[in-house]
Amino acid sequence: MYGGGYIFDDEKNKSQAIGAQDDPELLAVFEARIDRGEKIEPHDWMPVEYRRQLLRMIEQHAHSEIVGALPEGTWITRAPNLKRKMALIAKVQDEIGHAQLLYAAAETLGKSREAMVNDLLSGKAKYSNVFNYPAKTWADIAVIGFLIDGAAIVNQLANAKGSYGPYSRALKRICVEESFHLKQGHEAFVYLATGTSQQHAMLQDAMNRWYRPLIHFFGPPDTVSQHTEKLMRWKVKMASNDDMRNQFLDQYIPKIQEVGITLPDPNLRKNADTGIWEFSDPNWDEFFSVIRGNGPCNKERLAVRQWAEENGAWVKNALLKTNEKYTIPLA
C-alpha cells in the first residue's frame, strides 16, 4: 500500500501555509467532491484547514498507537502462559505497525515523521487519554484488548469511510488486525470473568478503573467538541463523539454484563424512548487534565519513549544513507 514515494512540493505547499486564505472557487470544487463521496489524495488541492485538521487527528492517532503499546508491553514478560504471551507479543507488534501506517499517512500532508516524533517527545502532541492510566494487573490487559480495542474499532470502522484516501486506506487495514485483537481480548475477558472468584474479582477491579477513561475515549460531549462540526462536514469524522460513544455502549455493555461483570455507575442505562445511553457525569475535568499531560502515567509514558529514542538512535544512524533525499511516502 505504501510503495514508491514522491518529493513534497514545497512551493505548492507555501500557498497552503496556516492562515492562508482558500480560493473560494477551489473550495467549492473541493466541497462538491466531498459531497459526491470522492476520495481526496495527497496531490489534490485541499483547504488549509482540512490539511491542518487531518494532520492533527492522524498524528494524534499515530502517537496513540506508539504510546498504547506501552501499558500492554509491560505485561509481555508477566503473561500467565505461553499462549497469552505469544498473542500479546503479536498484538503489541501490530500496534507499532499501525503507528507506521499512520505516520506515513500523516506525512503525505507535509509534516515529517521526525517533526511528529519530536512533538510527541517534547509533550507538545496529544495522544489518546486511555494510555495515561496504569495497567496494574493481568486483568487490565483483558480490558484493554476487549474494550479499548473495541472502542477503537467503532471509531475506525466509521472513519475508514472518510474522505482522505491515505487515512481511510490505513484505517481499513488497521481494522482487520484490530478485529483479531478484539477476539483475543474478548476471550481473555470471558476467561477471567468465568474463572475463579479471584480472577473474577481482579477483572471487576480492572473494569471499575477503566470505565471512566473508556467513556472519555470518544472525546468530549458534542456540545463541547471543538472540531466535530468541521470534520464531519468534510467527512473526516463520520460520526460525532456522542454518537460513537453511544454505539460503543450499545454494543459492549450487554457483552460485559452477560458474563457477570458490573459497571461502576448506578445511572448507566439505555433510555428506551431515545435509544441513547445515559450515564453519570464522567468528570470531564479529569479528561482535560489527563490530555494536557497530568494523568497518572503521562510523565512515565514520555520518559519511556525518550529513553527508547536516545538508546535507539545508533540503529537509525546506522541505517541512514547520507546521500539520499527525504521522500514522503506515496500512500
Q: Considering only CA atoms, which of 79, 62, 94, 129 is closest in space to residue 329? A: 62
CA dist., res. 325 & res. 328, Å (int): 10
Write out the binding residues for ligand BYC, residues 196-225 only, by CB under 6 A: 216-220, 225
Q: Does 226 bind ligand BYC (CB under 6 A)?
A: yes
- Which residues make beta-bridge pairs with 269? 278
- The single residue among 55, 109, 143, 231 that binds ligand BYC, judged by CB under 6 A, is 231
Minimum distance from residue 11 beta carbon to ligand BYC (Å) = 28
What is the Cα gyration radius of the chain? 21
- C-beta of residue 156 within 8 angstroms of C-beta of residue 181: no
The CB-of-31 to ligand BYC minimum distance in angstroms stands at 19
3-state secondary structure of 164: strand
> Of 50, 54, 95, 295, which lies in the binding site for ligand BYC, with binding defined by CB under 6 A?
95
Identified binder of ligand BYC from the candidate list 52, 227, 255, 270, rule CB under 6 A:
227
Cβ 135 vs Cβ 144: under 8 Å: yes
| C-alpha distance from residue 291 to each of 246, 284, 306 (Å) | 22, 11, 19
Which residues within the stretch 45-74 sit at the binding site for ligand BYC (CB under 6 A)?
A: 56-57, 60-61, 64-65, 68-69
Q: What would the x/- binding string for ligand BYC be over residues 273 to 302, using CB under 6 A?
A: ------------------x-----------
Q: Which residue in this structure is represented by grid cell 486506506?
A: 169
Residues 130-169, one symbol each (x = binds ligand BYC by CB under 6 A, - = not), give --------------x---xx--x--x--------------
Pick from 129, 26, 142, 138: nearest CA to 68? 129
Q: Pick from 113, 126, 255, 270: which binds ligand BYC (CB under 6 A)?
A: 126
Among 115, 183, 125, which residue's Cα sits nearest to residue 149? 183
Give the residue from 221, 52, 205, 57 showing the smallest Cα distance to 128: 57
Out of 16, 108, 129, 298, the only residue in the binding site for ligand BYC (CB under 6 A) is 129
Binding mask 177-196 for ligand BYC (x = CB under 6 A): --------------------
Helix (H) or strand (E) holding 270: strand 269-270
Site of interaction with ligand BYC (CB under 6 A): 56-57, 60-61, 64-65, 68-69, 95, 126, 128-129, 144, 148-149, 152, 155, 216-220, 225-228, 231, 237, 241, 291
